[in-house]
């Protein structure tokens, strides 16, 4: 076992790696719940709520490759925005998630109101981070 803190484990069984990340907003505070496939299925939640919205021929908004099934913009979810999520590929959504989780862990001590304010600017920062990340990756 190397670098155990780099791998996100399923929050339910804490054994298998979490490959689904569901954002939940409870009274203005966002939490991300991590599930493995089995626990997610057991919970009865929809793993890919945005999948249906991805149109054929659309490309990842960051790197231009084919978008994966995880099209959820969970920062938009956290802000309570109801909007069509833009397509994003699997690699980009993972990087996006890691960036957002790291930033969110830094604001977890703030009040709900302050978190909301921070989340607004996080949207732009996450976009910027992703553009830089895609350039570096090429
Ligand atoms: Zn599990
Ligand atoms: Zn991409």
Q: How far is the CA of 86 from the centre of ligand 1 (A)?
A: 28
Which residues constitute the domain of residue 53? Answer: 4-137
Measured from the alpha carbon of residue 12, the closest ligand is: 1
Q: How far is the CA of 113 from the centre of ligand 2 (A)?
A: 32
pLDDT for 86:
67
pLDDT tens track for 33-62: 888 988 888 877 655 554 445 566 778 888
What domain count does the chain have?
1
Q: State the number of CA atoms in the 13 A half-sphere of 87 facing the CB.
A: 18
| Comparison of pLDDT for 18 and 138, the residue scoring more | 18
Q: Which residue has the tokens 């994966």?
A: 68
Q: Where are the alpha helices (DSSP H) in the chain?
A: 37-43, 74-78, 90-106, 112-137
- Is the pLDDT reported for residue 72 higher than 60? no
| Comparison of pLDDT for 69 and 38, the residue scoring more | 38
Measured from the alpha carbon of residue 33, the closest ligand is: 1
Q: How many residues does the chain have?
A: 138
Q: What is the mean pLDDT of residues 19-39?
A: 78
pLDDT for 87:
74
């Amino acid at each position: 076992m190397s670098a155990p803190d780099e791998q996100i484990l399923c929050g339910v069984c804490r054994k298998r790696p979490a490959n689904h990340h569901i954002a939940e907003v409870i009274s203005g505070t966002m939490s991300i719940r991590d599930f493995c496939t089995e626990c997610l299925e057991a919970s009865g939640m929809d793993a890919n709520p945005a999948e249906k919205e991805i149109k054929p021929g659309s490309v990842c908004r960051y790197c231009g490759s084919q978008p994966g099934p995880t099209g959820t913009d969970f920062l938009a979810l956290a802000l309570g925005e109801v909007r069509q999520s833009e397509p994003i590929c699997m690699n980009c959504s993972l990087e996006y998630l890691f960036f957002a989780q790291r930033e969110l862990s830094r604001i977890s001590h703030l009040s709900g109101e302050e978190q909301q304010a921070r989340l607004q600017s996080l949207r732009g920062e996450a976009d910027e981070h992703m553009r830089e990340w895609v350039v570096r990756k090429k």
